[in-house]
Structure 1
Amino acid sequence: MSKAPIANQPLYKLWGGGNGNDYVTPYSSHFLLETPKSRAAVAARLKSQGWRAMKVKAHYKTLNEDIALCEEIRKQAGDDFTIMVDANKAGLRIPALSPTYVPWDYRRAYETAKAYEQLNVFWLEEPLPRFDLEHLSMLQKSTVVNLAGGEENQGLNEFKDYIDCDCYRVLQPEVNITGPLEVRKILVMAEASGRVVCNHLGDGRFGTILNMHLSGSATNYPWVEMANEQPIGGYESSYAIFENPPIVRADGTIKLPDGPGIGMTVRKELFTDEATPDRAIGGG
């Protein structure tokens, strides 16, 4: 027997509705390594659709290519489009997605950050190994570009270390690792130290919806990561399991779910009482 929701409110309101709005702002997150010109063309298309920001990978072999990537995006998308760059140097590496991956030393990270200053890059994500607190701190103090990271970190103590050592101005806990209640504590620590939180993706479905609620509940959670690698992984495909999927509107925002809890309903046709040969996983 199902139970009716007690408060009948969405999570972001139960958590305080900190930004006073019923919407959040996503950024289009990309994981493949494309040529600078092709990425710039994507950026221009995204902007025409209403998106305000995108994140791209910097896995090129040379510094010049890393710079050319953002130069081309800035040319095509204009000065009012926000660029985030993910270096992925904190440990996680997926060879199929980054075939030209090379580790960075401090000098490469520093030169990249200084070049990105001129291109108004909003953040540089994971430029060095995650526990190299000394060099992360040195790098953050030497650049106006925000450093970001934390997607594989666990426990409040690790995020407190980033704050105490002034390593990252953008904290990125992964909600599927840390959990939403711990993220709320990280939000408080970040706010007290003048930092922002922009969670890692989540699972691209339920976890990302949780991130939307967390963003809507806080004053220091400005961007929500949304995987959107067209045409193979557009965001619409990820949320097709829901009856009421989130839609990026013409102004680049997403309306927060207003139903109780996470406010999402999985399409009924995806459920079955009994597994049948044609519906069972692996059947056919």
Structure 2
Amino acid sequence: MSTRTVVTEVETFPLEAHLPDGGYGASKVRLPVRVATLVKVTTSDGAVGWGESFGPPRLIAPFLADQAQALVGQPADIREDRILDRLSLGYHLTAGGPHVAAASGIDIALWDAQARAFGVPVAHLLGGRLHDRVDAYASSGYVTATRDPGEFRDTMASHAAEGFTAVKIKIGLTPDEDRQRTAAARAAMGEDGLVIVDYNANCTVATVRRSLARIRDLDPYWVEEPLPPEDSAGWRELRDVHLPLSGGEALYTRYGFRDPIAEHRFDIVQPDLAKCGGFTEAQAIRQLAAAFNLRLSPHCWGTGVAQAATLQLLSATPRAPFGMAGGEPLIFEFDRGDNPLREGVLATPLTPENGTVAIPDGPGIGVTVDEEWVRAHRLEDHSVLVRAR
């Protein structure tokens, strides 16, 4: 009789990197630090998996401690029931927030560990590896303390020099600044390049209409988070702008995505694996999007671990609803903002190549975490270590 593999240890690595010059961000908020919490899960068969939880480490830590205590000693292959049962029993906490971000890091680590035990990429467990490489856009154009137009133009030029033909920029400032920034991005990407504009929910219906009126002729590829996710009436009103709308980075689990997808508030659905519920919920969200004939383009704004996990999801994403010709490509969000954590956590960081990125084909999420680096840089007071007794 076989012995079922169980989780024997959970360890976390809260990380924080302070940014120079007051940091950067969006029209909504500028961030002075980049943060993440890595999660390491070890199983009784010796497999080790890594995941990542989005959010401030000091806020996430208590939830990770609670969930790690509950996980150790339990079967390592139970993932969906673990998340859904926790959401059901803890319904007063709602289906979103730091407890789900904590669960996301654990879930990613469990998938990584099982795939490594099998010696295959996670994509094989998600339905099969369909893509070896995907297009990528430079996620950039951040709002800085100076809001200097010259610096912004230089940043756009640097992405074009890297080989990117697609870029996402932050707008939602003033109509004049939105026009100026979008025009600079269009000039750098060229007539055939892609320019995505991201409002980070810093608008009302009226202000986003006014901004879009100033940039429509610059052909934004999609309009990201024009409104807060809870403004369901506003999203419905914006359907008449006749531009592709995207959203989802601030939503959690299949329950948070259900109504926006069913109501077609978005054209492009953007779950973030490090907060939506990991691979388990991202897979459910991806299938919901497919059922309602919507595109998937995951949000990704974390370390190399989150990047690698997101690429595994994209690798297993079918081209449907498109066929052999036409349609739109799968596209990966490649953050280009200053973030020492992004490259620091990996032995070999992921890199863009002429506007594309190769999907790692090794076991699990396909990358090797530099454990010496993450141990040296973690916030010890907020780390968690739970071992089987």
1:88 and 2:200 aligned = yes
Q: Distance in 2 between matches of 1:16 and 1:159?
A: 21
The structure whose residues are more often helix, as a share, is: 2
Which residue of structure 2 aligns with residue 94 of structure 1? none
TM-score by length of structure 1 reads 0.80
Q: Is the 8 A contact 1:37 1:69 kept in 2?
A: no
**Residue 293 of structure 2: aligned partner:** 194
Structure 2, unmatched stretches of 5+, are 1-44, 49-115, 320-328, 382-389
The yes-or-no answer on 1:224 pairing with 2:332 is yes
- Which SS does the other structure have where 2:250 is aligned? coil
Identity %: 25
Between Structure 1 and Structure 2, the one with more strand by share is 2
Q: Could you say which residue in structure 2 is the equivalent of 1:92? A: none
Residues 17 and 144 from structure 1, CA distance in 2 versus in 1: closer, same or farther, beyond 3 angstroms?
farther
Asked if structure 2 preserves the Cα contact closer than 8 Å seen for 1:133 and 1:165, the reply is no
Q: Is the 8 A contact 2:172 2:211 kept in 1?
A: no
Which of 265, 270, 281 in structure 2 is aligned with 1:172? 270
Going from structure 1 to structure 2, the CA distance change for 1:78 and 1:115 (only over 3 Å counts) comes to same
User: Residue 6 and residue 59 in structure 1: after superposition, are their counterparts in 2 closer, same or farther (change >3 A)?
Assistant: same
In structure 1, what residue type is equivalent to 2:335?
Answer: A
Separation in structure 1 between the aligned mates of residue 335 and residue 119 of structure 2, nearest angstrom = 29
1:233 paired residue among 339, 354, 375: 339
Q: Deviations over 1:180-229 (max 9, x none)?
A: 11111111111222211222225222122111111111036822222212
Counterpart of 2:347? Answer: 243
Kindly indicate whether the alpha-carbon contact (under 8 Å) linking 1:41 and 1:76 is maintained by their aligned counterparts in 2. Answer: no
Instruction: Tell me how far 1:44 sits from its aligned partner.
Output: 2.3
Matches within 5 A, 1:1-284: 2-3=46-47, 5-17=116-128, 20-30=130-140, 31-33=142-144, 34-60=147-173, 62-89=174-201, 103-139=202-238, 141-178=239-276, 179-219=278-318, 222-229=330-337, 232-233=338-339, 238-249=342-353, 251-267=354-370, 269-270=372-373
Distance 1:279 1:63, change over 3 A: closer
Cα deviations by residue, 1:47-80 (Å, 9 ceiling, x for unpaired): 22112322111142x2121112111221232112
Secondary structure of the equivalent of 1:25? strand
What is the SS of the residue equivalent to 2:143? coil
1:104-151 superposed Cα distances (whole Å, 9 cap, x missing partner):
221211232344331111122111121111221221x21232211121
1:204, 1:226 within 8 Å by CA — same for their partners in 2? Answer: no
Q: Is the 8 A contact 1:146 1:168 kept in 2?
A: yes
SS in 1 for 2:246: strand
- Tell me: CA distance 1:241–1:8, structure 2 relative to 1, closer, same or farther (3 Å): same
Cα distance between partner residues in 2 of 1:255 and 1:198: 16
Aligned in 2, Cα 1:111/1:263: closer, same or farther, shift over 3 Å?
A: same
Q: How many residues align?
A: 257
**Which 4+ runs in 1 deviate beyond 6 A?**
none
Look up the match of 2:72.
none
> What is the CA–CA distance in structure 1 between the aligned matches of 2:367 and 2:218, rounded to whole Å?
39
Q: How big is the alpha-carbon RMSD for the aligned residues of Structure 1 and Structure 2?
A: 2.7
| TM-score, with length taken from structure 2 | 0.60
Counterpart residue number, 1:93 = none
- 1:270 maps to amino acid: W
SS at match of 1:258: coil
Measure how far apart 1:23 and its partner are.
1.1
Which consecutive unaligned segments of at least 5 residues does structure 1 have? 90-102
